Amino acid sequence: MTTPTAEGTVPWPEETAARYRQEGLWRDLPLHAVLMESAKGREDKVALVDGDVRITFGELVDRVEAAAARLLDIGLRPDDRIVLQLPNSWQFAVLTLACFRAGIVPVMALPGHRLHEMRAVAEVAEARAVAVPERIKDFDHRRLAQQVAEEVASVEMIMISGTAQADEVSLDDLLRPSASEDSPKEKAGGIPQPDPDLVLMFLLSGGTTGMPKLIARTHNDYDYNIRECSRVSGLSEDTVYLVALPAGHNFPLGCPGLLGALFAGGTVVMLSSPHPVKALQTIQNEGVTVTAAVPAVAQRWIDYVEETADLPDISSLKVLQVGGSRFPDELAARVRPVLGCTLQQVFGMAEGLINMTRLDDPEEVITTTQGRPVSSADDIRIVDPLGQDLPDGQPGSILTRGPYTPRGYYRAPEANERSFVEGWYSSGDIVERRPDGNLVVHGRDKDIINRGGEKISAEEVESLVYRLSAIEMAAAVAMPDPSLGEGLCLYVKLREGENITLEQVRTELTDAGLAPFKLPERLEIIDEIPMTRVGKINKKALREDVRRRMEPSSTSQTNYDREGERDGHP
């Protein structure tokens, strides 16, 4: 394999790959072929809904084929990378599928990312294009794309959803249906099929390092990921799947997500925000049967239903998947009584392994565990700090490998050294395996903050904080948050005679281009940062400290007021 993306990936060992093929887990189908198959005989059925836009399977296949050809016509080549930062919209789905068809590799950025993240992923991926909307709310994504293009040499093209300027590629034009004036190539659909063993797309890791890492997923592995998740979530052509989380995230994309729903012959409904008013109304209007939420979103939906008279009728909803961070047992127990649907807990990761409770599991399993692997080919070990296997019932670090868990990050040998041990991926989660095989997530030993399902690397935030000359030492730690589970508290030691406010820190990090969801919400200025005996910052002590400070008796002026920030994605 000599393509640029293949060179930076860590492939599965040959004999393992051969076994996955032989067992039929890897089918050697390019992913768009699965869509073509599901579209057959359903040409007039609605595949995709986005507000007033309704696209049938026939139209979807046509647009995807035409757009794939146009991507090549404008000068992109198979294996080129496009950083995709689009809100949940029909354009997201069509462009993603068109990339898959052409063998062009989308890099799944999130709408909340800013220059710091976009530049980093464009650089690592050596992207040739960036696809953005003009704006989301009051943020100018065109300007962001222009900055990325100015700073990253490989980026030559800006694709705009909305009104494109002369030097930009118009996505509305690129993604339009085929027409008689199209080139013969577009009509013939004669572009080469991508090799299913090659990179399909890059997902972003919610990892621990200073910069986001890319996870190369192949056609073969992601096809299997989607198939197993669809089976365990009971998807069929009757499925109406609501995309309420950011579509570029693995969970709503392929677990089983929008791709699973399309491949099952079901209908996908795109919604730009999981706000309960919109989401519940959409469930009623479109007859949504399944959707995915992070715990913070599920909690808002539950609270909203309990507090509101005259609600939309959401009885079509059969399954609510919840994952991304730990769903508290007490909340899990309220899903069926309040929302009237089956809860499916999902403990997954962009790096691969997906665990789910089964729809027919006893209520106790559904409400107190995070399920078990979706595939019998997933291997799991629970180990102690020395790497020794632990018996069931004892929490330890989870290691995993399998047919849809790649063996390394893209172009990241150092991170691979730490996160992959002899082919096993170590996610940094502390997990107990019960005798019935179900997993319970107890915590983690990785240095991240999980803010309502959005992962924040402490190191990434700390490294930017050091730009403030007043700060001598900094530590970002998780603090309890009633709605998001965790928030970010920044501890700092100041240089002699200096002072600083939370607002100054937030402004500095914003100016550095950090995504808003990663900004600290509380600042604690202390005389000495506690250290462990081996000379590392004692984050456990700091987490306990902030917990104490937040107890009702103690008051603090430094907590950031986040009201108004809660309409968007968590």
Residues that bind ligand OOB (CB under 6 A): 206, 250-251, 255, 323-326, 345-350, 354, 370, 427, 429, 441, 444, 453, 455
Nearer to ligand OOB, 274 or 453 (CB): 453
In the complex, the smallest distance separating the C-beta of residue 276 from ligand OOB, rounded to whole angstroms, is 21
Nearer to ligand OOB, 368 or 510 (CB): 368
Cα radius of gyration (the chain): 23
Q: d(Cα 75, Cα 47) in Å, to the nearest integer?
A: 29
In the complex, the smallest distance separating the C-beta of residue 452 from ligand OOB, rounded to whole angstroms, is 11
Which alpha helices (H) appear in 103-235, and where do they start and end? 115-125, 141-151, 171-174, 184-188, 219-232
Nearer to ligand OOB, 83 or 502 (CB): 83
DSSP string, 465-522: HTTSTTEEEEEEEEEEETTTEEEEEEEEEE-TT----HHHHHHHHHHTT--GGGS-SE
In the complex, the smallest distance separating the C-beta of residue 248 from ligand OOB, rounded to whole angstroms, is 11
Which SS3 state, helix, strand or coil, does residue 419 take?
Answer: helix
Nearer to ligand OOB, 194 or 323 (CB): 323
Nearest alpha carbon to residue 440 among 449, 431, 452, 427: 431
Q: d(Cα 212, Cα 127) in Å, to the nearest integer?
A: 15
In the complex, the smallest distance separating the C-beta of residue 237 from ligand OOB, rounded to whole angstroms, is 23
Nearer to ligand OOB, 133 or 206 (CB): 206
In the complex, the smallest distance separating the C-beta of residue 143 from ligand OOB, rounded to whole angstroms, is 27
Nearer to ligand OOB, 486 or 508 (CB): 486
- Measured between its terminal Cα atoms, the distance across the chain in Å is 39
Instruction: Say whether the peptide bond before residue 480 is cis (omega within 30 degrees of 0).
Output: no
CB 280 within 8 A of CB 313: no
Name the residue number minimizing CB distance to ligand OOB.
348
Nearer to ligand OOB, 399 or 441 (CB): 441
Assigned token pair, 307 = 């507090």
In the complex, the smallest distance separating the C-beta of residue 229 from ligand OOB, rounded to whole angstroms, is 8
Q: d(Cα 554, Cα 545) in Å, to the nearest integer?
A: 12
In the complex, the smallest distance separating the C-beta of residue 292 from ligand OOB, rounded to whole angstroms, is 8
Residue for token pair 């056609």: 219
Which distant-in-sequence residues (6+ apart) come within 8 Å of 549 by Cβ?
A: 524, 556
In the complex, the smallest distance separating the C-beta of residue 394 from ligand OOB, rounded to whole angstroms, is 18
Beta-sheet strand order (sheet of 81-84) = 169-170, 157-161, 129-133, 81-84, 105-108, 199-204, 214-218
Nearer to ligand OOB, 349 or 478 (CB): 349
Q: d(Cα 447, Cα 428) in Å, to the nearest integer?
A: 9
Q: d(Cα 63, Cα 102) in Å, to the nearest integer?
A: 13
Nearer to ligand OOB, 231 or 493 (CB): 231
CA 478 to chain centre: 20
Nearer to ligand OOB, 103 or 323 (CB): 323
In the complex, the smallest distance separating the C-beta of residue 251 from ligand OOB, rounded to whole angstroms, is 4
Assigned token pair, 104 = 């062009």
In the complex, the smallest distance separating the C-beta of residue 371 from ligand OOB, rounded to whole angstroms, is 8
